[in-house]
Chains A and B, each alone.
Chain A
């Protein structure tokens, strides 16, 4: 409402301003005066117009500014309202969105419920189907049961039939049993009869047993009586024998005589037997000797076998050793080779010993040199020390002299300063000259000394160098000596041992080869005896028409000796002619020798 009032205010001001503006025009249009006044009026008009315009513009400006302010205010209001509305709208929107969400949630829940219900429905349907299936199965079972029932009824009927049959059978059986019981009764009666018989028999048996015992007693008595009888008989026999013995006494005496004679004869035989025993012992000894001889013989045979095996081993040695020794010449060649090797080894040994001696000699020389060099180096050391001492002394003297010289110079300068203004006295000049001369001499002396020092130093340096070189040489020599001694001793001892071993080996080999040689020679001789020969050096020839070949040629022809024309085989002919004629009738050579 306030705004509206303000707006009205603005419009009122605007109306007043417009009214004001309209008035001046009437004023200006009324005065119509001369030309000068016209200009003035015109300018005045113009000014008025300008002022009006100005006021008008001002007012319009004010109006515009007011309008602008109002517009701004309204704009602000509108913006505020808009914002308010927007906020409200946003709130509404949010509410609606919330509502929407809630609704969506509800929809989701409902959908879930729907799905659950669908699921439960499906489950129920499935359960329903299962139940239907079960019902069907139950129906089937029912049908089966019905069928089984019908079967059972049938079986029941059949069983009833069987029962009837069985009842029939039972009746027949019972009738049989009745007959059997009747039989049994009759049999029991018989059994009773038998029992009675048995009792009678047992009584009889008891009586028999009693009679048996009585019988045994009587038998025992009979035996005792028999025994007594036998004793009586024995007594009677003894009595009879005693009687007969008494009768036999003279016979016994005769027998005694005979026995005495027999004992004498037996004694003689005993003596004979002892003699025979001695003989037997002698024979036994002989037998033992024979057995011993036999054992010896067996041992000898064993030894013989051993020796034969040994001999065979020796014979096989050549093959076993693998040496290509077939002839004694090969063997001798090998022996010669071995000897040559031995000789060469000995020569090597000699050369080695000589080299060792040379090395020892050189070592001794080197030692002597070493001692000389040591003494030299010691002398050099001494010299160097003395030179060093001299140098030090000289340096000290030089220092003292330089100091003296400086002092003298200072004195001279002081003299010069004192006597600068005054005239030089001859004394002074003289003294000065003397001093200068002294100085020069001292300088010369010092120069000499310095030269000597430098010389001495140089000498010392050279000596040092010499000493160092000598030491170096000494070390080198020591090393050489050590190595030479070590190497030589070790090498020589090892070599000596090796050579000794070799020599021993060669010796053993030589012995072995000698033995082999002997064996081979024996074998060779044997082969030679058997007719073997060396085809390289020897050949065997015979006449083409020899008796054997001629005999072989004629033999298959059968009695072609005359046809062959050569020497036939008369031995064969003679064999045929004379049967078992083997040997010539006599040995003329024997007879000849006998004659001789």
Chain B
């Protein structure tokens, strides 16, 4: 983390947000049971004990995505990051964890750093992650074999890098949406929400 006590630069903000995404995605994967819990290890971050994956493939995948995302965050070309959980049997989208990113495009790399204490940002991030864990109480059970994918909504004029390709939005048919808390680094603002498929039994 390059953020200093004095203030937050664009690069620092991007790093904070990318870290949040890394931990957030890990905890969602753990909470929703997409990967077996024995493949996770406990880490303390944001004064919270969080779970991080030990799966090498997943680690590399997440690292590559987060690195790319950090770049785009610095360019302010990313609009959304979406974690899509799909049923492997039916190819049906069951959950969508959506993180809307509002970039302050006036903030340039050489600009003066914004004055927001890092502790306050961490406090906000902590509340968001807590909410993510709390959502397990109302989200429907995932009873089938599921897999996840990370979609990034970017500006149209962005050049798609190698290994990346364009995709559909993968919208849930008949969904319920729950808005979660948001946090801001005063350069990037992240609004989080979860949409899940309405189960027929309800």
Contacts and interface: CB of A to CB of B under 8 A. Distances in A.
Contacts of B44: 592
Interface in A482-541: 526, 528-533, 535-541
Interface string A559-596: 00000011111111111000001111101111111011
B27 interface: yes
A12 interface: no
Given A542-B167, A546-B150, A571 B33 contact: yes
A550 B55 CA distance: 15
Contacts of B98: 529, 531
Given A529-B193, A547-B148, A537 B177 contact: no
B39 A570 contact: yes
Contacts of A582: 33, 141-143
A300 B75 CA distance: 51
B37 A541 contact: no
A549 B167 CA distance: 12
A587 B136 contact: yes
A531 B148 contact: no
Interface string B29-44: 0110111110110101
A522 B169 CA distance: 20
Interface string B139-174: 001110111111111111010100111111111100
A555 interface: yes
B179 interface: yes
Contact of A549 (B49, B149, B156, B175): B149
A584 B49 contact: no
Interface in A423-460: none
A539 B158 contact: yes
B35 A571 contact: yes
A544 interface: yes
Nearest to B179: A529
Interface stretch (B3-11, B56-64, B109-117): B56-64
Contacts of B143: 582
B165 A541 contact: yes
Contact of A540 (B30, B37, B167): B167
A589 B165 contact: no
Given A548-B147, A570-B36, A542 B164 contact: yes
Nearest to B129: A589
Contact of A544 (B40, B96, B164): B164
A543 B49 contact: no
Interface string B95-115: 010101000000000000000
A552 B48 contact: no
Contacts of A548: 84, 86, 88, 147-149
A541 B145 contact: no
Contact of A538 (B37, B154, B177): B154
A545 interface: yes
A189 to B, nearest CB: 108
Contacts of A546: 61, 148-150
B152 A540 contact: yes
A583 B166 CA distance: 33
A565 B61 CA distance: 12
Interface residues on A, range: 35 or more
B82 interface: yes
A275 to B, nearest CB: 47
Nearest to B98: A531
Given A547-B58, A583-B33, A587-B31, A592 B141 contact: no
Nearest to A583: B33
Contacts of A549: 149
Interface in B116-142: 129-130, 132-133, 136, 141-142
A535 B195 CA distance: 21
A587 B36 CA distance: 14
A541 B86 contact: no
A540 B153 contact: yes
User: Quick one: which of A532, A555, A592 has the most chain B CB within 10 A?
Assistant: A592
Contacts of B55: 567, 570
Nearest to A576: B145
A563 to B, nearest CB: 13
B47 A596 contact: yes
B190 interface: no
A579 to B, nearest CB: 12
A585 B38 CA distance: 10
A584 B133 contact: no
Contacts of B49: 588-589, 591-592, 595
A118 B99 CA distance: 139
Contacts of A543: 61, 64-65, 150, 163-164
Given A531-B96, A587-B133, A589-B27, A526 B149 contact: no
Contacts of A551: 88, 147
Contacts of B82: 531, 540
A572 B142 CA distance: 11
A218 B138 CA distance: 102
Nearest to B161: A541
A539 B166 contact: yes
A254 B34 CA distance: 89
A569 B88 contact: yes
Nearest to B39: A570
B169 A532 contact: yes
B163 A541 contact: no
Interface string B73-85: 0000001101010
Interface in A323-375: none
Nearest to B45: A592
B175 A539 contact: no
Contact of B177 (A526, A533, A592): A526
A589 B50 CA distance: 6
B195 A531 contact: yes
Given A539-B155, A582-B33, A596-B48, 17 more contacts: A531-B96, A533-B169, A537-B156, A538-B154, A540-B152, A540-B167, A541-B166, A542-B165, A543-B163, A547-B149, A548-B148, A552-B147, A570-B39, A570-B55, A572-B146, A589-B130, A595-B49
Interface of A: 526, 528-533, 535-552, 555, 565-575, 581-585, 587-593, 595-596
17 contacts: A529-B195, A530-B175, A531-B172, A539-B160, A540-B169, A541-B151, A542-B150, A542-B152, A545-B163, A549-B149, A571-B147, A574-B33, A584-B30, A587-B31, A589-B31, A589-B49, A592-B49
Q: Rank and list the top 5 A-B pairs by shortest CB-CB distance, nearest first.
A: A572-B145, A589-B133, A567-B57, A574-B36, A584-B37
